[in-house]
Amino acid sequence: MLGPYVDAPTAQLLLPQARQMPQIAWQIIRNALEQNPHARDDINCLTELLATGGQVANGINTDRLDTSAVAEPSNFSLKPAERLPLTDECHHYTGKHEVPWDIQKYFSQRYSIFSYYDSGVHMTDDAWFGVTPEPVANQIAYELSEDHYDPEKTILIDAFGGAGGNTIAFALSERWSRIIAIERDPATLACAQHNAEIYGVEPGSVTWILGDSFEYLDQLVNSPEKLHPDLRVDLQTTMVFASPPWGGPGYRTDEIFDLSTMQPYSLNQLHEAYKKMDHVLFLPRTSDIRQIAKLAPEGEKLEVIQYCAEGASKAMGVYIPAEKPPASSD
């Protein structure tokens, strides 16, 4: 419908809406793009043109246009993030003397965390504690590759983007048609975007969100119309990867870690947020397997993988299928 204007940046912004919009709306948009080259780049200009009713003069009734599709992007509380600048909190340490004492252990493992570390990988001090080491991130990406996991899943949501360890591996696997990565801390998100560039991740192959992933997933499941059009995805073809922060009483000391006390998010809180989609939880290696088993759908078993490096387990990956919709009474 948009002919030569389909690649215009403003048109691209509207494409995720394509199915919901009537044909007439696309005609109106095409007219506007044809008549005003500025509207091809500037969503405000396009929105204004459509709203001023210029098309009515051309005999097209704008009342039938789904205006939510062309709403000003800043009206959405969650929207794709811009490329954020690195801040004073983002560091590329080059020598141990610069590194705070509590992350020196991780700094000495920097090349097994990011093999391209010396190319300028940046991290916030907090991110060192939670980043998934590259070999583990690559193994998870491999586990989810089309040969090993349902190829009908084509969209991946990384609910806790961090400094980009997992997101980068998912993007480099080239298995996903879309990746949406969410991180609520702006400095950490800036590091992730920067690190993805260092690793040669195609710009645009990851949609970054600066925000709360629980809010995003809640809106995605319950009120997708509230989301920016670029963030609306089909639940059936989407899966969630979640590597939440690990903490809580006994997390470092208990032989078996009680996931109901995990902080800041318990096992149930995570599962509740993701259960409509297949999801992978990346959990402490000592996690209580009995609590995990309870999440298996009726009559099914869950796959649980211990991810090891240098002979020791580093973490547990739990692969959980989407909850089945209730059987229809027909």
Ligand X SMILES: C[S@@+](CC[C@H](N)C(=O)[O-])C[C@H]1O[C@@H](n2cnc3c(N)ncnc32)[C@H](O)[C@@H]1O
Catalog residues that contact ligand X under the rule CB under 6 A: 127, 130-132, 160, 162-166, 182-185, 188, 212-214, 243, 245
Q: Which is nearer to ligand X, 54 or 130 (CB)?
A: 130
Specify the pairing of strand 312-320 against strand 303-309: antiparallel
Secondary structure class of 282 (helix, strand, coil): strand
- Tell which residue, 216, 199, 217, has the closest CA to residue 275: 217
CA distance 185 to 45: 31
Shortest Å distance, C-beta 216 to ligand X:
8
Q: State which residue, 207 or 213, has the beta carbon closest to ligand X.
A: 213
55 close to 35: Cβ distance less than 8 angstroms: no
173 vs 213, which CB is nearer to ligand X? 213
CB of 40 to ligand X, least distance (A): 34
Nearest distance from C-beta of residue 145 to ligand X, angstroms: 18
Cβ-based nearer residue to ligand X, 8 or 242: 242
Q: Which residue, 183 or 230, has its beta carbon nearer to ligand X?
A: 183
Whichever of 183 and 278 has its CB closer to ligand X, that residue is 183
Least CB distance from residue 261 to ligand X, whole Å? 17
CB of 77 to ligand X, least distance (A): 13
Q: 97 is written with which tokens?
A: 């003397």
Q: In whole angstroms, how close is the CB of 196 to ligand X at the nearest point? A: 11
> DSSP letter at 123?
B
H or E stretch at 138: helix 134-143
Distance CA 33, CA 6 (A): 10
Provide the minimum distance between the beta carbon of 279 and ligand X in the complex, in angstroms, as a whole number: 14
Q: Verify cis geometry, omega within 30 degrees of 0, for the bond prior to 284.
A: no
Give the SS3 label for residue 283.
strand
CA distances from 175 to 192, 308, 320 (A): 20, 24, 19
Inter-CA distances, 133 with 13, 107, 144, 195, 213, Å: 34, 12, 17, 13, 22
Output the smallest distance, CB 164 to ligand X, in A.
Answer: 5
Q: Which is nearer to ligand X, 43 or 103 (CB)?
A: 103
DSSP E strands, 109-249: 155-158, 178-183, 206-210, 238-242
Cβ proximity to ligand X, 163 vs 259, nearer residue: 163
